[in-house]
Every structure is written in structure tokens, then in C-alpha cells.
Amino acid sequence: MKLKYFNFIFLMSVVLMFASCQDEEYSIPAAGTDLQNDCIKRSLGPNVVGLNIEFAYAMALPRDKGKLVSAQVEASIAGGSGTYLENRSFYTNSSGVDVGITVGNPSSTNGTKTEVTFSKDTCASTLRYYYIIPEEARGKSVSFKFSAKDSNGTTVSYDMGPYTVAKMDMKLDMVLSDNNNMYFSVADMAVMNSATAAANPSKVDLVYLYRSYTTVTFLHALVSPANSEYLPGVTLPAGVNNSTPLWKVYGLRDQQLARLQYGIYVDDLDFTQEDFTGAPNYGINMKAESGAWVQTADGVYRAYIFVNKVDNTKKEMTISVKRYKMK
Amino acid sequence: MKKYLLTISAVLLALWAWVGCTDFPVDEDGLLITTRGECYVSNFELLGSDFQTVRTKAAVIDTTAQTINVEVFYGTDLKNLWPQFSLVTDAKLDPKITGRVDFSDLANPKKWTVISGNRKVEKTYTVYLTVQPKP
């Protein structure tokens, strides 16, 4: 009886050793004999209206089997103005620089389809596709069908997506300046001067000011018009009195706003999950690369304001904003 | 040889049983109750909602008077501060800090009790906050 168990365990051990030690030899994959294609998405982060989604579409067939004739991309929603398929195939040189070789005529876009016709006798090419996200795609999903045709009439295709397009808006590099363009409207995503603020008092959400004191650190500040405590020496236009809840944030360097090396992205979900309960309505001593979550007084919009840079001499602050409509 | 193996095995087994059965007392938080009787705050930090310090200088901790005096920047949002206590080894804090704390009632300073490692000494620290004067 015992011997039977021993034999069983011994056999299992041998099987286990055999399975774990088996050496799988690598073999170079055999090249296909027909036209083939592949595609990758190159751009990262949320798909924001106005920005692009970038792809690299590769197609090839054996040299003796013919040449490439055309490449085409069909988007489920027609791309915005500036959508194009590269007519150059890129390679990376020894210095790490991408060098483009023209292989076809500039792309033509007709509705949802963008096409490049090859002008060079080539059997392998990688073309990049830049899809400018149109307003019509906001909050929807967009997908793509890449296809290539060779001189034999063979066609291959590759489906990409669907990709969700964010609902949020984005605006970059707005300059606020003390005592001049010092008003910011989240609803308009715009900087205003006194005259514009006076004409649209309900739209002014924040006031920018710069104050330098020897005893306290105030410097660059974003303050709600309703908070007179932190608006020293500021006379607001009549009717400008919104109280905008604001959470100061440090270290949230959204890649699309900051355009720095950090792979952090603020997306639609972040706006919906932000809780403004108990939030103050001012933020003083705002530094470069810091930011603030804000919500308009009427609760219609939420925004993330990123401070790209501050200038103590000019008394200026450059901001980039992502904004989400809540209701 | 077999005798030695048996002896070693028996000793190891006894040792394991002894270790396994030794009763290490833990408190209601599942924290180990030790023999340490020291009971004090060694460092104090105060962070704003952006997790940046709001102190103008190091907090003054008086372990005899059991007070912590800290001055914060002008413009600090006192309703949303995150205090951080560094305590002597094995000590714990009561009440626990689980989120932002409202320090805005300056007339009634916040109090926290430090409990020593042996859970026999308790010292209540009062945190006095002052704000940099308005310029």
C-alpha cells in the first residue's frame, strides 16, 4: 500500500520536473506570403475635442509579390479639420530622430474616409494617421478601420477602437495679469478685463491678484469675488460677487495641460468624483505647476486649473484649464 | 544518528509550540502592548488641503506642559487641515486622525491624547494654532 503511494508521488514529481524544465526553443516567425497589416495607437491620455488621436499603420507584402497601391482610414465620425494620413514612411536614424520618406501623394479626405495613394514602388510602409477629434464626437465613441490595397488587388484591414471621447473641454495658456486681465470665467473659459467683467458679472468666477508683502507670503492668488478678505486693494465691478469653491492641489501636473514629462491625466471621471463640501473659496500663494479644482457658484461647471508659470516681475500667471459640464 | 534526529526534531517542535503559544497582548486596535512607558509627541506637522505644510516654522512642542504651539501662514484654510503627530515608539494617539480636521475655532484648541506603549500612561496635548497677522 505504502509502495503504491510512493510510486504515485514519485511519478507526479517526475512529471512536474519534466513540465517545468522543458526548454522551449525560440524560432523566428515565418514571414507571411500575402499582404499584411498592423496598427498601434500612439497617443495617450483622454481623447479631448480639438486634440488628435495618433496611430501608426503598418502594411507590407513580400517584395516579389507586388507593391502597395493605397492606404485608407475610415473613421466612424468624420475627423475635424486637419485630419490626415501621412504620406511619408518614417524610420528612426542613429541619432534617434524620426526621418520621413515620401512614399505617396498627400492624403485626401472625403467625409469619414482619408486615403493615401502610393507614388513610390514600395512593398512595406508605416503611415501615421492624425485624427482631429471633432465637436460631433464629444462624449461619444469613435472607431477606425484601417485598410491597405496592393497591386494584386488584395485588400487587408485592421479595426481600432472604439475610443471614448471625453466630454470635457480644454484651453491652454491663458495669461492672467494683476490689475488688468485679472478676471477668469469658467463658463467662458476666458480671461477678462474690468470692462468685460462689468458686462458679464455673473460669469466671473475667480479674480487673480499678485501681492508682495514682507511679513506674509501672498504672491499669486486666485480668489472668489465674494471673498473680500483676500482681495486687498481690489475694487470689483458692480455685480461681480460669485463664491467659487476651490481646492488647491499640488503635484497634479496633467500632461495635456502641463505638457511636461509626467504621465498624469485629468479625465471626466475626476470631475464627477470631486467633493467640494467645505472647500474654501480662495487660494493664495499659488505656485507654478500647482493647480486648483474649482466649481462654479451655480454648480454647472467644474474645472481643473493648472498653473503653467508665474511671473513675479510682470505680476502674471499663465493657466491652462480642463472644464467639465455637470448639468 | 536516528536518535539525534529525533532529539533535534523534538526540541524544535517544543520550541515552535512555545513560540506559537506565547501570548502577545494586543489592545482594542490590534496593536501590540509593550513594556514602554514613554509617552510624548516628538514632532508635529500640519498640512493644507494640497498636502503642503502650512507651518511658518517648526512647531514648538512642550512635553512638560503638554502643548503644541504652531503658527500657520496668513490665508491658511483652517477648516481643512491635516495634522500629523510623530510619537515615541509604541505609543498611539486618541482620537485617531482619519481625515481633515477643523481648526477654525481658535478659542477652543484641539486636544489629542498620547497613550504609552504599555497603555498605562496617557498625556493629553493641546494644539494651539496662531495665524500670521494680516499684512
Å from B73 to nearest chain A CA? 7
Name the burial class of residue A193, with classes exposed (0-12), middle (13-18) and buried (19+) by CB atoms within 10 angstroms of its CB.
Answer: middle
Cβ atoms of A150 and A176 within 8 Å: the answer is no
- Arithmetic mean of pLDDT over chain A: 92
Contacts of A6 (CB under 8 A, 6+ apart): none
Closest chain B residue by Cα to residue A285: B75
ipTM of the complex: 0.79
The candidate with the shortest Cα–Cα distance to B112, out of B76, B130, B72, B85, is B85
**pLDDT tens for each residue of A134-164:** 999 999 999 999 999 999 999 999 999 899 9
Average pLDDT along chain B, 135 residues, taken 10 residues at a time:
75 71 81 94 95 95 96 95 96 94 95 95 96 91
Compute how many other C-beta atoms are within 10 angstroms of the C-beta atom of residue B118: 16
- The per-residue pLDDT for B4 is 77
Beta bridge partners of A104: A118
**Beta strand residue intervals within A178-238, DSSP E:** 183-185, 190-192, 206-211, 219-223
Nearest to A239, CA basis, from A203, A190, A207: A203
Contact with chain A for residue B130, Cβ under 8 A: no
pLDDT at A40 over 60: yes
pLDDT at A13 over 80: no
Question: How many angstroms separate the CA atoms of A297 and A245, rounded?
Answer: 7
Residue A68 has pLDDT above 70, yes or no: yes
Average pLDDT over residues A315-323: 96
Q: Residue length, chain A? A: 327
- pTM score, whole prediction: 0.83
A157-207 residue pLDDT tens? 999 989 999 999 999 999 999 999 999 999 999 999 999 999 999 999 999
Cell 477648516, located at residue: B79
- Is residue A265 scored above 80 in pLDDT? yes
Best A210, A211, A216 residue to mutate vs chain B (most B CBs within 10 Å): A216
Assess A226–B contact: CB distance below 8 Å, yes or no: no
Backbone angles phi, psi at B89, to 5 degrees: -50, 135
Q: Measure the CA–CA gap between A46 and A259, rounded to whole angstroms.
A: 14
* Chain position carrying cell 513580400: A62
Nearest to B80 among A249, A278, A290 (CB): A278
